[in-house]
């Protein structure tokens, strides 16, 4: 009896532990959504004239992973993951991505039609950069702490002046634009270290420069690299890879990378040098390598990745010449206005340290300062070499489907009926 009682207690404890783990880690599910039925449901609000919240949140999808054609029902089925811990996707962002891919936001000037990929930029006014450059020159020529501190205070005051916010390729006052701008502005804080990350292996640019300066002074060397430098950072799509299996396209790789370029003040304004500053390049590479971990810590970057995946999915559908009625998403779905700032305050952070040098018998103080520029560019380009075909894939030519699928995807196999809007599989 005692052994049986002990066994029962152990089993009960194990069950309690399993239940606690299940509560702490919500189950991630695979879900499919019919685009045709999705549009039909969006056209028909409830009796109060309100569209149900789940329809405005991509039927619960938090990550899109691809699509498959349902030829029997003249439909396309989007599939992905439902993760209760992840930020929701927004249906209007998907509609905007489709409109971008279908050139709905292109514009004409004279007889020329122009198109811009979705993107944004937050940049200081060239006059402010010129003023900062002049103050920086004074700081570099000053050795007296009494003279240095007022100059640093002046530097911070000037650098906090408003920076212009530009939005390209999408409606300015939309959730899509607001996410890009917020992600870019948060990046400025991460670059200068005014916001720190717990993610191992990611160190701010200012902290990297400070560490290099400390090492130089400790070794009795002159400081390497410029102390007054300006670099631009922007998010950009990495090398995409897409699985092609019959009528199914899967986003195998859809990375978000961080690029950088050193800038300088020219007679006409701020210009790029065509090369990255070495320490800035190290920061950008480290950020890109740890993007997934950073996004877990800063959910705005999960949202930004969601936009990149929407844009990629839409461009793939356009590239593959998907023959499905998208008229409601392309022309009629209402995009709710989300105010996007026209200006944002500049960010200033000055790092300083003191170090005794035996050769001089005194104290040397080092200062680091920098204005920051940035942006987002969703310039996704689809090429035939980006596709990875399997043995079951039907032949493709010029990016358009030619021939019927030889195998159904799990998402399509599990579809309950032609009238199903969404289903788990």
DSSP state letters, 395-412: PEETTEE-S--SS--HHH
pLDDT at site 265: 73
Q: Which residues of 271-285 are buried (b: 16+ CB within 10 A; e: fewer)?
A: eeeeebbebbbbbbe
Within a domain: 272: yes
Within a domain: 169: yes
Alpha-carbon distance of 422 to 54, in angstroms, equals 11
pLDDT at site 219: 73
Tokens of 401: 């489907």
Within a domain: 8: no
Least confident of 103-107, 234-238, 254-258, 275-279: 275-279
pLDDT at site 349: 80
Least confident of 109-123, 318-332, 390-404: 390-404
DSSP state letters, 338-399: ----SEEE-----EEEEEEETTTTEEEEEEEB--EEEEEE------GGGEEE-TTPPPEETT
Within a domain: 106: no
Alpha-carbon distance of 371 to 349, in angstroms, equals 9
Within a domain: 273: yes
Is the pLDDT confidence value at 403 over 60? no
Alpha-carbon distance of 318 to 78, in angstroms, equals 14
Report the candidate in 258, 210, 214, 215 with the shortest Cα–Cα distance to residue 233: 258
Within a domain: 34: no
> What are 250's strand-pairing partners?
66, 243
Residues of the domain holding 348: 119-318+337-377
Dihedral sign computed on CA atoms, order 324, 330, 331, 336: positive
Within a domain: 155: yes
Dihedral sign computed on CA atoms, order 332, 105, 324, 37: negative
Within a domain: 344: yes
The count of structural domains within the chain is 1
Alpha-carbon distance of 417 to 425, in angstroms, equals 14
């Amino acid at each position: 009896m005692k052994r049986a009682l002990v066994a029962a207690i152990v089993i009960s404890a194990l069950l309690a532990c399993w239940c606690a783990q299940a509560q702490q880690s919500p189950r991630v599910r695979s879900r499919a959504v019919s685009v045709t039925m999705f549009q039909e449901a969006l056209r028909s609000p409830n009796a109060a004239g309100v569209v149900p919240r789940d329809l405005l949140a991509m039927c619960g999808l938090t990550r899109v992973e691809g699509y498959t054609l349902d030829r029997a029902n003249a439909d396309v089925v989007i599939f992905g993951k439902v993760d209760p811990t992840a930020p929701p996707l927004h249906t209007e962002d998907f509609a905007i991505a489709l409109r971008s891919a279908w050139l709905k936001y292109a514009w004409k000037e004279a007889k020329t039609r122009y198109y811009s990929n979705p993107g944004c930029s937050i940049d200081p006014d060239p006059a402010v950069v010129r003023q900062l450059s002049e103050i920086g020159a004074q700081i570099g020529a000053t050795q007296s702490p009494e003279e240095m501190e007022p100059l640093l205070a002046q530097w911070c005051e000037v650098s906090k002046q408003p920076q212009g916010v530009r939005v390209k390729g999408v409606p300015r006052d939309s959730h899509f634009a607001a996410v890009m701008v917020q992600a870019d502005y948060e990046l400025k804080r991460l670059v200068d270290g005014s916001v720190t990350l717990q993610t191992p292996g990611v160190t701010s640019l200012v902290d990297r420069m400070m560490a290099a300066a400390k090492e130089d002074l400790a070794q009795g060397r002159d400081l390497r690299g410029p102390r007054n430098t300006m670099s631009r950072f922007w998010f950009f799509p990495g090398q995409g890879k897409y699985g092609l299996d019959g009528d199914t396209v899967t986003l195998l790789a859809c990375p978000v990378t961080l690029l950088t370029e050193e800038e300088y003040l020219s007679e006409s304004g701020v210009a790029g040098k065509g090369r990255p500053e070495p320490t800035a390049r190290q920061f950008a590479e480290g950020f890109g390598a740890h993007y997934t971990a950073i996004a877990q810590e800063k959910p705005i970057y999960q949202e930004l990745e969601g936009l990149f995946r929407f844009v990629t999915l839409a461009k793939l559908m356009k590239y593959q010449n998907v023959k499905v009625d998208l008229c409601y998403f392309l022309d009629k779905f209402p995009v709710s206005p989300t105010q996007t700032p026209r200006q944002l305050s500049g960010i200033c952070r000055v790092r300083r340290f003191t170090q005794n040098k035996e050769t001089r018998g005194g104290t040397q103080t080092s200062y680091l300062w920098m204005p920051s520029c940035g942006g987002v560019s969703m310039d996704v380009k689809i090429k035939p070499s980006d596709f990875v075909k399997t043995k079951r894939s039907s032949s493709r030519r010029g990016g358009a489907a030619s021939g019927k699928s030889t195998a159904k995807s799990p998402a399509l196999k599990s579809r309950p009926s032609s009238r199903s809007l969404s289903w788990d599989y």
